[in-house]
Amino acid sequence: MAEARQAHWQGVYTSKEEAAVSWFQDNPALSLELIEQAGPGQDADIIDIGGGASRLPDALLERGFRHVTVLDISQAALDLACLRLGRRASEVQWIAADVTEWNPPRRFDIWHDRAAFHFLVDPADRAAYIARLTEALRPGGHAIIATFALDGPEKCSGLPINRYDPEGLARELGQGFTLIESRRHDHATPWNATQHFQFSLFRRRDG
């Protein structure tokens, strides 16, 4: 399963330019707003799960955050992001791994995931993701998870996805996480189609 996922996303990022994928965002404004709402200082440890070639690390560096990590299953996606950032790429830690098989090296203050979790349609993969989330996020830390909303697309990049509302996502994560806030977001693709997302902010409970 992981090998097939890796092959798929390598193919996507080696065959398409950064702005030629449906999830491209020039400005990750809502992600930044929710990160700032979580209230981390500039020394906060932030990880972007499934970040790909996202421009979130650029924006975080511009805001003075000093500990930014991006994890993605596709090395090609990370290479695109590094090329775009140029010299500043060395200020980010890049991890090429499948999150469901990853062993977190330390704990983070912010876990950000825009549109990775909803690709995990196998319950075993979701359980593995949540186990990594629980291990990697410090008690009191915050997770921002964005998925297609209940009225969002049923597929993305040719793959089936699971759609969520904030309450359903909270049930999936379990009692270790408290839903703090949710936002609905209408994402405009590069070809001006609209995709309905929900962004949810969770706090990991102490203990």
Q: What is the pLDDT at residue 2?
A: 66
Of 111, 134, 122, which Cα lies nearest the Cα of 162? 122
Query: Low-confidence residues of the chain, pLDDT below 70?
Result: 1-2, 6, 8-10, 12-24, 207
Could you tell me the residue range of the domain that residue 177 belongs to? 2-17+26-204
- Report the predicted TM-score, pTM, of the whole model to 2 decimal places: 0.93
Strand order in the sheet with 177-188: 92-96, 67-72, 45-49, 108-114, 137-148, 194-204, 177-188
Rg (CA), the chain: 16
The pLDDT of residue 17 is 67
Q: Taken in order 167, 171, 175, 176, is the CA torsion positive or negative?
A: negative
Mean pLDDT taken over the chain: 91
pLDDT of residue 32: 96
If one counts the domains in the chain, the total is 1
Q: Quote the pLDDT of residue 39.
A: 81
DSSP 3-state of 193: coil
CATH number at 83 reads 3.40.50.150
For residue 16, the model assigns a pLDDT of 61
